Structure 1
Amino acid sequence: MIEIDGITKTYGAMTAVDAVSMTVETGTITVIVGTSGSGKTTLLRMINRLEEPSAGEVRINGEATHSLKPHILRRRIGYAIQGHGLFPHHTVGRNIGAVPELLNWPKDKIRARVDELLELFSMDPDAFRDRYPAELSGGQQQRVGVARALASRPDLLLMDEPFGALDPIIRTRAQEDLRRIQQRLGSTIMLVTHDMEEAIRLGDRVAVMDGGKLVQHGTPAEIIAAPATEFVADMVGDVERPLRLLSLIPAGEVVEEGTANGEALPASASLRDALSACLWTGREAVPIERDGAAAGRVTLAAIRARAEAHG
């Protein structure tokens, strides 16, 4: 568990982060979202002491971070940034194994961990272990950057705009990768973004910052349905709100008996995905499957009824 207690950062007369307090539960993703200059990156950097707080403290599993030497603390916290920050002259294997090597892990244990993470990110170890960053696509480099941050099994993974430089299709895939891997490993993640769409898609909890203050901290559904301030409402977007809520509801919740033409969606797909499929192909319903077997259909009428109920 991560406890952030009244943490503040001032630069002369300017307050970049203003008495922020929140708790991050173990095994969850918390997304910190806000516009440029809202203090979100400074908050993240105070957790691993790349920036020293002016006041307040951070505790990881009950232990105050200021009681540890910064380099010891940072080995316990993974850190992934936009542009991934890979060492260009080191192979993928050496990049991922950098922190375990600093921790004096045995060579065979490092190699096993590198291969495990490559497989987790759907990158064949034999094909990728000995490549250099310049030989990878942007999406592959980003995966390696996240794998490196996870290599030493950190207590906490901090991510600062990790997917900002990726094109939209690769970005969506990278977000899905992160969600899948986080659930598999049980990692605790704090991620900074300026994109509310990303925050809602990824976060178990969303923390909205404005002018250095934490203005709302809640589940994606709470943030969308009951924005605490006008700033939060603007970030969610009034017109977008029903669509954003549809993105949180699995199609399996409104499936009904019957058949429909076209490619089936899994029951875990969101109602927003089902709406897109209907509108894209001009259909009134889409087929739904569970575990590869037909489960019924979701109709456009049912989707609209859900959207209107939340509108």
Structure 2
Amino acid sequence: MIEITHLCRVYGSLVAVNDVSLTIADGEIVAIVGTSGSGKTTLMRMINRLVEPSSGSIKIDGRDNREIPAEELRRGIGYAIQGHGLFPHKTVGENIATVPKLLKWDANRIKARVDELLKIFNLDPAIFRERMPHELSGGQQQRVGVARALAAEPPILLMDEPFGALDPIIRDKAQADLLEIQRRYGTTVVIVTHDMDEAMRLGTRIAVMDKGQLQQFATPAEIIAHPATPFVRELLESGDRALRLLSLRDVAELIEPGDAEGNPIDAATSLRSALAECLWSGRETLPITSEGRLIGRIRRSEIERAARFDNFEGAQR
């Protein structure tokens, strides 16, 4: 559990974070969203003390993070950033192994962990372990960056705009990968984003920041139904409400038995992306796969019905 209490960060006359309090439960994904300069990145970076607070406190499992030596604290918290931050002179395997080596893991354990993570991210170890970062696509670099952050099995993962530079298709898959990893390991994830749609898809709860202040901290459904301030309402109005509702749910919820024509989509795809595929391809039904195996289909009519708020209310991830 991460307990943030009356947290402030002041730079001269600028109050970057102003009296923020919130609690993040174990195994939760919290998305911190806001415009540039809202204080969201500063707030997150105070968790691993890359930024020191001016006042207030952060407790991790009941222990003030200032009582933990900074090096020890950061080794226990995964950190992934936009641009991936891979070491260009190290292979993919060496990048992922960085923190386990610092922790003096056994060489066999390190190799097993590197290969495990590469397989989880659909990167064949025999092909990718010895490649250099410049030989990877942007999406592959992103996956390696997250794998490196997870290598030492940290209970907490911080992510600062990790998907911002990816194109929409790769970004959608990267988000699905993150959700699958989080479900598998139960990692507590704090992700900073400027994109409300991304926050809605990933966050079990969303912290909306503006001018250093916490505007609302609630589930995606609660924020859509009851925006707490004009700023939150304005963020929501920048996109279509029905599409935001669809982004909160996965195709897996509406699968039915049967076949369908055309290219399939994965069961972890959001309903919003599935509707876009229906409209783009002109299809009324889409085949659905999981781990490469056909498991059913989904109807466009059912996706459209799910976009109605009275059908959605209460259906949260």
The reply to whether TM is greater than 0.5 is: yes
Q: Aligned partner of 1:199: which letter?
A: A
Q: Aligned partner of 2:135: which letter?
A: E
Q: Which entry has the higher C-alpha Rg, 1 or 2?
A: 1
Structure-2 residue corresponding to 1:303: 304
What SS does the corresponding residue of 1:299 show, helix, strand or coil? helix
Q: CA deviation at 1:228?
A: 1.1
Residues 225 and 241 in structure 1, CA contact (< 8 A), matched pair in contact too: no
Structure-2 residue corresponding to 1:89: 89
TM-aligned CA distance change 1:228 to 1:95, over 3 Å = same
Residues 206 and 218 in structure 1, CA contact (< 8 A), matched pair in contact too: yes
Structure-2 residue corresponding to 1:67: 67
- Once the two structures are superposed, residues 230-282 of structure 1 have per-residue CA deviations (whole angstroms, 9 ceiling, x without a partner) of 21112112661122112224567677899977667677655434533443344
Q: Aligned partner of 2:141: which letter?
A: Q
Q: Aligned partner of 1:303: which letter?
A: E
Residues 256 and 296 in structure 2, CA contact (< 8 A), matched pair in contact too: no
Q: CA deviation at 1:133?
A: 1.0
Structure-1 residue corresponding to 2:206: 206
Q: CA deviation at 1:164?
A: 1.0
Q: Aligned partner of 1:192: which letter?
A: V
Residues 83 and 165 in structure 1, CA contact (< 8 A), matched pair in contact too: yes
Instruction: Point out the more displaced range, 289-298 or 227-236.
Output: 289-298
For 1:4 and 1:216, the matched residues in 2 are separated by 15
Where structure 2 has 5 or more consecutive residues not aligned to the other structure, the ranges are 313-317
1:244 aligns with 2:257: no
Residues 257 and 297 in structure 1, CA contact (< 8 A), matched pair in contact too: no
For 2:267 and 2:254, the matched residues in 1 are separated by 9
1:127 aligns with 2:134: no
Structure-2 residue corresponding to 1:286: 285
Structure-1 residue corresponding to 2:110: 110
Structure-2 residue corresponding to 1:58: 58
Residues 262 and 286 in structure 1, CA contact (< 8 A), matched pair in contact too: no
Structure-2 residue corresponding to 1:151: 151
Structure-1 residue corresponding to 2:315: none
Residues 6 and 20 in structure 1, CA contact (< 8 A), matched pair in contact too: yes
Q: Aligned partner of 2:304: which letter?
A: I
Identity %: 57
**Structure 1 residues 175-190: aligned runs within 5 Å:** 175-190=175-190
Structure-1 residue corresponding to 2:230: 230
For 1:61 and 1:29, the matched residues in 2 are separated by 16
Residues 79 and 158 in structure 1, CA contact (< 8 A), matched pair in contact too: yes
TM-aligned CA distance change 1:264 to 1:20, over 3 Å = same
Q: Aligned partner of 1:16: which letter?
A: A
Q: Aligned partner of 2:33: which letter?
A: V
TM-aligned CA distance change 1:266 to 1:5, over 3 Å = same
Q: CA deviation at 1:32?
A: 0.3
For 1:89 and 1:75, the matched residues in 2 are separated by 21
TM-aligned CA distance change 1:7 to 1:264, over 3 Å = same
Structure-2 residue corresponding to 1:4: 4
Residues 118 and 124 in structure 2, CA contact (< 8 A), matched pair in contact too: yes
Residues 245 and 310 in structure 1, CA contact (< 8 A), matched pair in contact too: no
Residues 271 and 303 in structure 1, CA contact (< 8 A), matched pair in contact too: no
TM-score normalized by structure 1? Answer: 0.89
Instruction: Point out the more displaced range, 268-277 or 48-57.
Output: 268-277
Q: CA deviation at 1:305?
A: 7.7
Q: CA deviation at 1:310?
A: 7.6
Structure-1 residue corresponding to 2:38: 38
TM-score normalized by structure 2? Answer: 0.88
For 1:145 and 1:258, the matched residues in 2 are separated by 38
For 1:8 and 1:253, the matched residues in 2 are separated by 41
Q: Aligned partner of 1:186: which letter?
A: G
Residues 288 and 295 in structure 1, CA contact (< 8 A), matched pair in contact too: yes
For 2:167 and 2:289, the matched residues in 1 are separated by 30
TM-aligned CA distance change 1:259 to 1:124, over 3 Å = closer
What SS does the corresponding residue of 2:308 show, helix, strand or coil? helix
TM-aligned CA distance change 1:296 to 1:37, over 3 Å = closer
What RMSD, in angstroms, separates the aligned Cα atoms of the two structures?
Answer: 2.7
Q: CA deviation at 1:176?
A: 0.9
What SS does the corresponding residue of 1:57 show, helix, strand or coil? strand
